[in-house]
Structure 1
Amino acid sequence: MNAPADLPPELSTAQPSPEGPGPTEHVDIAIIGTGFAGLGMAIRLKQAGLHDFALFEKAASVGGTWRDNHYPGCACDVQSHLYSFSFAPNPNWSRMFSPQPEIRAYLERCTDQFGLRPHLRLNHELRRAAWDDANGTWQLDMADGKRVQARVLVSGMGGLSRPAYPDIPGLARFRGEAFHSQHWNHDYALAGKRVAVIGTGASAIQFVPRIAPQVAHLDLFQRTPPWIMPKPDRKVSAAERWLFGRLPLTQKLMRTGIYWALESRVLGFVVHPKLMTVVARIARRHIKRQIADPALRATVTPDYTIGCKRVLISNDYYPALARANVDVVTHGIDHVEEDAIVMRDGTRRQADCIIFGTGFHATDPIPRGAILGLRGADLLDAWRDGAEAYLGTTVAGFPNLFLVVGPNTGLGHSSMVFMIESQVNYILGALKAMGQQRVQAIDVRPPAQRDYNAGLQRKLAGAVWSEGGCVSWYLDPKTGKNTTLWPGFTWQFRRATARFRMADYEVRALTANAASAANRAIEA
């Protein structure tokens, strides 16, 4: 089997420079990642008058998930006018749901518009971040041997950045082409090939309709069918784009309307899950309208409560499955041979290419050894009972570490950019308070973190994600806890993060070495 172009971090073969550690760069704030989270943090720092920061990015360009995912049909499943920074509206989206190239271009434009290029450190892959208690700083080791020292560390690595591969016997024996959807091989010609797609998640429902007309035959290996709703997508007219550009208030009104329409979904997800029966009727009608064959219709109809897994949207997935050259296979995979996938019932499905649409490590996005806190404690050990953080942002035992898109900040109904901006504002409040009170380091108090997460889990216990009768990537596979989603309205999270409370934190007084950084924070 051909190895993916970019191995998961835990399998990466990159090694530190044989010449030993390079020179140490000193910055006040180090930001890891340049997706919406990292760029949003950097932009708001500049707007607050804080310029002593750097963005460290493992790749050669910015964009995060919208750079890494470039498979055919890749697009956002939240409307573009909401899935963008509130402080950087784009009046020129071509569709209500933007395709990947437009979102990536938007992030590149924001990088230029807000003057972030001088702060970028591209091709800087983080190997390890370790807290130095003696100096009250984070020591960062990069894959190329470079070292960085920072008072504050902000992780913008995101929760859906490490691709997950299935553990199937014999995969290493496969002689054809094989790749994950995140590492799409555009140089491999699919035309005329027998293609096996493993997985039926958010990525697969986008790329399967694009490749099905090209291939000789496509076997879609489905373990659990997803619930799929119609996608209310359309082109944005030239007149609308003109209006948004000339009268920005009109785009703001559209953004507001989309926001409240999506917020209404929380009523079914959390407040009253029985309301999801109404949504399920719409989804079943969608299946009936798009698939004529009763057997196939039954195969793709889920048997769990809608919303328990991520609800997907598509207008072309079901028609693709109904094509004569597509089979939906549900018998379960036993093993892989050199040129075929063998099912548990003994049938053999020949394949020239295997494409993994198997998602990401959502509950453990950070590899072991990457972040070490007080006394060298590994973040994964702190999360042995499931990932958790205070307000999804700070973790006890890891001073001056801020997570953007941390545990229980994910959404099943609205735009993650809204959550990112809420966390960024909270972090700015923390930095300002640290400067005003002449504090060098803060560490969230364990009782504050424990009480906050106990409240979250009580709310999640009655939500559709826990009661819907399914197993999803929202839940930690070891503990069964939902460590991924926010159990409520997004405005509730914004209200919770609106004010930084120093009383929730243990503090370390400012040292002389950090005085200049504190003065800058005070001025901001």
Structure 2
Amino acid sequence: MNNPPQYEVAVIGAGPGGIAAGVKLRQAGIEDFVILERSDEVGGSWHENHYPGLGVDIPAVAYQYSFARNAKWSRVFPLGAEVKAYHMEVARRFDLYRNVRFDTNVEREVWDDEGGYWKLHTGEGPVVTARFLISAVGAFVRPKAEVGIPGVDSFAGKVQRPTDWDHDYDMAGKRVGIIGTGASAVQIIPSIAPHVGTLTVFQRTPVWSIPKPDFRIPPTAQKVLAVPGVQAALHGGALLVIDSVLRGVVKGPNRTVHTVMDQFDAVCIAAYRRYVSRVVQDPATRERLTPNFGLFAKRPTMSNGYLKAYNRDNVSLVTDSIETITPTGVRTRDGVEHEFDVLILATGYEVFSDPETYRPGTVVGRNGFDLAKFYNEEGLQAYESVSVHGLPNRWTLCGPYSWTGSGWHAFVEMTSDHAVRAITETRGRGAAICEIRKEAADAYHRRIYHQGETLRYYLADLNGHVPTYYRNSQGDTTYVRPSGFFEARRGNRKFPLDDYLYTTVPEGVPA
């Protein structure tokens, strides 16, 4: 006979999603839960990342929980330390710290068919068991272990990574190279350029970097934001605009939408070219900094200092491809040896929307169902982006087709609502197991895949020449949910309860 599980609910991750799930469980009267966090503090990426210049790239009023709005943000776009402090304060306010087990890295999730619960293998630590499981790992699952460049381990100088930044190392006067021009690099480059000796940026693909309307929020404005309903109205208005645009893209006639997309990209590229020409002084440099792809083909960035950094005498841009990393620096394919004291590897993350992110044998469900095998063979899919047939009692807060153009907090709240509603219904029916019905999951995926046609055209056809995590290795656009925000929220909060199958545990097994 199996022993009963240790917890009713286990949540993997104490970042924004894990905090949302913990709060929602507590509000639903579910107290028997544990949050398993691989690091030593809550906050997720905002704890693990602490590189120079780190900050949010959407306004603070849209980057917070609806149940914990903060009127005292110091800036329109707060810096990383303030964002981390916000998440810590929310965790304290809702008494989540007593539910968190830090330094606990879940390496495998295995469903126990006989007992009807999940076994979570934590490396060298003990196996944690729970009846229900919520994966709150987030969008950026782990930093890329392999940067895809030969000789990376041979470099004899100092290596810095956005997720492992050594602030005690003084880079003043040093020769610094940075590989990558993504969101992290756009923040790092202008932050360190005034202090280092030389800075060489290795760019594979140029990035859109538009002006950031950032400024300090005066006390009078903070008082206005503290008035009940003001921040909700501001955020709601922004969501309505984004929602109408996204719905127009996915619901409009394909031929019309394709034409609009073509023209939109052409206008934006031309306008950005004019903007770069006004900001960047050197004609050759600004030409290499100008994208030949649409504004939304890759994640656009916001910065008031990134492009200006290339006007500095100590900053140079290299677009020749890298042949190898050497003990003293970087050799490009044109034969040039670039020597450095410091090498910054801003080479990105494995994201939730790529099948390669899921390792075989790490998530194993009913009757040996392997999530990685399923995703690689059938494509990424999940009912309302959270539930997969074959994985009973399990929900993912950031799953296939989940991002709706909103801030992260808005959609991890709605997906947490989905998980908690399903758990509550299971308990209310006197059942112990719930699993999304295959027919419901398949019907949902057919509908959402059909709605994604125009997004696939934009990312795989119109802008198919540019590498982007918005388009995965299977050519699908599983990062973005092809519906409006409000449609997604209704789907997660009001899904038909009978889309799930509810059963009891096997006879003789303690409930």
In the alignment, which of 322, 335, 339 is matched to residue 324 of structure 2?
A: 335
In the alignment, which of 411, 430, 436 is matched to residue 438 of structure 1?
A: 430
**Pairwise CA distance, 1:335:** 0.9
Task: Supply the distance in 2 between the matched residues of 1:125 and 1:41 (Cα, whole angstroms).
Answer: 18
Task: Supply the distance in 2 between the matched residues of 1:193 and 1:368 (Cα, whole angstroms).
Answer: 43
Task: Supply the distance in 1 between the matched residues of 2:220 and 2:506 (Cα, whole angstroms).
Answer: 58
**Pairwise CA distance, 1:99:** 0.9
* Partner in structure 2 of residue 14 of structure 1: none
In the alignment, which of 397, 400, 409 is matched to residue 407 of structure 1?
A: 400
Structure 2 vs 1, CA of residues 215 and 392 (structure 1 numbering), >3 Å: closer, same or farther?
A: same
Task: Supply the distance in 2 between the matched residues of 1:285 and 1:172 (Cα, whole angstroms).
Answer: 41
**Pairwise CA distance, 1:284:** 3.0
* Partner in structure 2 of residue 212 of structure 1: 193
Task: Supply the distance in 2 between the matched residues of 1:154 and 1:436 (Cα, whole angstroms).
Answer: 19
In the alignment, which of 388, 398, 413 is matched to residue 395 of structure 1?
A: 388
**Pairwise CA distance, 1:276:** 4.2
In the alignment, which of 344, 348, 352 is matched to residue 341 of structure 2?
A: 352
CA contact (8 A) 1:229 1:282 kept: no
**Pairwise CA distance, 1:456:** 2.5
Alignment root-mean-square deviation, CA? 2.2
Equivalent residue of 1:181, what SS? Answer: coil
**Pairwise CA distance, 1:189:** 1.5
1:423 partnered with 2:452: no
Task: Supply the distance in 2 between the matched residues of 1:198 and 1:380 (Cα, whole angstroms).
Answer: 30
**Pairwise CA distance, 1:45:** 0.8
1:151 partnered with 2:146: no
In the alignment, which of 155, 167, 170 is matched to residue 189 of structure 1?
A: 170
In the alignment, which of 148, 156, 159 is matched to residue 178 of structure 1?
A: 159
**Pairwise CA distance, 1:262:** 4.1
Task: Supply the distance in 2 between the matched residues of 1:249 and 1:474 (Cα, whole angstroms).
Answer: 34
Equivalent residue of 1:497, what SS? Answer: helix
Task: Supply the distance in 2 between the matched residues of 1:25 and 1:294 (Cα, whole angstroms).
Answer: 65
Q: Residue 176 of structure 2 aligns to which amino acid in structure 1?
A: V
* Partner in structure 1 of residue 491 of structure 2: 496
* Partner in structure 1 of residue 91 of structure 2: 111
In the alignment, which of 458, 461, 467 is matched to residue 471 of structure 1?
A: 467
Q: Quick check: 170-179 or 260-269, which moved more?
A: 260-269
Within 5 Å, which residues of 2 pair with 1:31-46? Answer: 31-46=11-26
1:135 partnered with 2:115: yes
* Partner in structure 2 of residue 7 of structure 1: none
CA contact (8 A) 2:115 2:505 kept: no
Q: Quick check: 185-194 or 33-42, which moved more?
A: 185-194
Q: How many residues align?
A: 491
* Partner in structure 2 of residue 242 of structure 1: 223
Query: For each residue in 1:185-228, what CA deviation from the matched residue of structure 2 results, as whole angstroms up to 9, or x when unmatched?
Result: 21222111111111111111011100111111111111110122
1:120 partnered with 2:104: no
Q: Quick check: 302-311 or 446-455, which moved more?
A: 446-455
Q: Residue 173 of structure 2 aligns to which amino acid in structure 1?
A: G
* Partner in structure 1 of residue 53 of structure 2: 73
Query: For each residue in 1:325-363, what CA deviation from the matched residue of structure 2 results, as whole angstroms up to 9, or x when unmatched?
Result: 111111100111110211111111111121111111112
CA contact (8 A) 1:176 1:354 kept: yes
Task: Supply the distance in 2 between the matched residues of 1:514 and 1:110 (Cα, whole angstroms).
Answer: 38
CA contact (8 A) 1:267 1:275 kept: no
**Pairwise CA distance, 1:435:** 1.9
**Structure 1: where are the runs of 5+ without partners?**
1-22, 517-524
CA contact (8 A) 1:430 1:500 kept: no
1:91 partnered with 2:83: no
Task: Supply the distance in 2 between the matched residues of 1:251 and 1:513 (Cα, whole angstroms).
Answer: 52
Q: Quick check: 60-69 or 168-177, which moved more?
A: 168-177
* Partner in structure 2 of residue 323 of structure 1: 312
1:225 partnered with 2:214: no
Q: Residue 465 of structure 1 aligns to which amino acid in structure 2?
A: L
Structure 2 vs 1, CA of residues 268 and 202 (structure 1 numbering), >3 Å: closer, same or farther?
A: farther
Query: For each residue in 1:449-470, what CA deviation from the matched residue of structure 2 results, as whole angstroms up to 9, or x when unmatched?
Result: 2332233233333222233322
CA contact (8 A) 1:161 1:360 kept: yes
Structure 2 vs 1, CA of residues 85 and 282 (structure 1 numbering), >3 Å: closer, same or farther?
A: farther
Q: Residue 482 of structure 2 aligns to which amino acid in structure 1?
A: P
Q: Residue 341 of structure 2 aligns to which amino acid in structure 1?
A: D
In the alignment, which of 130, 135, 147 is matched to residue 166 of structure 1?
A: 147
In the alignment, which of 27, 31, 42 is matched to residue 62 of structure 1?
A: 42
Equivalent residue of 1:439, what SS? Answer: coil
Q: TM-score, with normalisation over the residues of structure 2?
A: 0.91
Task: Supply the distance in 1 between the matched residues of 2:284 and 2:499 (Cα, whole angstroms).
Answer: 57
Query: For each residue in 1:71-99, what CA deviation from the matched residue of structure 2 results, as whole angstroms up to 9, or x when unmatched?
Result: 11111111111110001000100111111
**Structure 2: where are the runs of 5+ without partners?**
none
Structure 2 vs 1, CA of residues 211 and 503 (structure 1 numbering), >3 Å: closer, same or farther?
A: same
